[in-house]
Every structure is written in structure tokens, then in C-alpha cells.
């Protein structure tokens, strides 16, 4: 039987991925100003990557016998471009922390596939964090 804590943490990650995929896509739509024009496509690209993460997590949860959540965490768009990117950077920091916890739980459970999945997603999240950190320096 799969560890309930691992399933719960994976669902937390799924909920986060659903949140940011919507959040980033709306930011892609709602951006303003010249600086927004230069990064709007980055919001969209990352939103799509986050939705792919959600799909992969949901598939793994289902395989492990867990019920994938359909409820995103609260979505915060932000009113200014700087606020949007600051929110996104913070969300990526939280994801990085959570995914390290999930990887540790997967190791403890000897679940190599879940470990590899979340290592891959963690790598993407670190890239997203770097992107948002770099953008934040310029807005």
C-alpha cells in the first residue's frame, strides 16, 4: 500500500500545478505595458509546462491508487506586472520546497518512478524560478 502522506503531498503538488497553470495563463492575457509585451509569451509557455506537470502528477497518482484532485490552490493574478512576477517567484519557491519533500518521501518508500518524476518537475520549477527572478530584476 502506498504511503498516505506521499499521496497527500502529491495531491498538494497537483493542486499547486493547477493553480499556477491558470494563474500564469491569465497573466499572459492580462499583462500591461511595454515590459509586459516582452514577457507575455513566457507566462504562456510556463503555464503550458505547468499543465503538463499537472497531467503527469495526476497520472502517477491514479496509478498509485490515489484520487487526483481537481481543485487548484487559490489563484492570485496580481495588479501590476511586478506584482504578478513577484507572486509567481514565490509560488515557484514553494513548489521547489514541496517537490524536495515529495522526492524524500518517494525515496523512503523506494518509489523510484515517483522520485524520477518529481526530480524532472523540480528541474523545471527551478528554471521557472530563475526566469521569474531574472524578470523581477527588470520590472
pLDDT in tens, the chain (139 residues): 678 999 999 999 999 999 999 999 999 998 877 777 788 899 999 999 999 999 999 999 999 999 999 999 999 999 999 999 999 999 999 999 999 999 999 999 999 999 999 999 999 999 999 999 999 998 8
How far is 60 from 90, CA to CA, in rounded Å? 26
Domains and CATH numbers, the chain: 4-136 (1.20.1260.10)
Q: Which residues, in sequence order, are CB contacts of 133 under 8 Å at separation 6+?
A: 89
Amino acid at each position: 500500500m502506498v504511503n498516505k502522506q506521499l499521496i497527500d503531498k502529491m495531491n498538494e503538488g497537483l493542486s499547486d500545478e493547477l493553480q499556477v497553470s491558470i494563474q500564469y495563463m491569465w497573466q499572459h492575457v492580462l499583462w500591461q505595458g511595454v515590459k509586459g509585451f516582452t514577457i507575455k509569451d513566457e507566462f504562456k509557455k510556463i503555464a503550458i509546462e505547468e499543465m503538463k506537470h499537472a497531467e503527469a502528477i495526476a497520472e502517477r497518482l491514479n496509478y498509485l491508487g490515489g484520487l487526483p484532485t481537481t481543485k487548484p490552490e487559490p489563484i492570485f493574478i496580481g495588479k501590476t506586472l511586478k506584482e504578478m512576477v513577484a507572486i509567481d517567484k514565490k509560488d515557484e519557491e514553494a513548489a521547489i520546497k514541496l517537490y524536495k519533500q515529495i522526492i524524500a518521501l518517494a525515496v523512503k518508500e523506494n518509489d523510484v518512478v515517483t522520485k524520477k518524476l518529481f526530480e524532472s518537475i523540480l528541474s523545471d520549477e527551478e528554471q521557472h524560478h530563475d526566469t521569474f527572478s531574472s524578470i523581477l530584476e527588470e520590472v
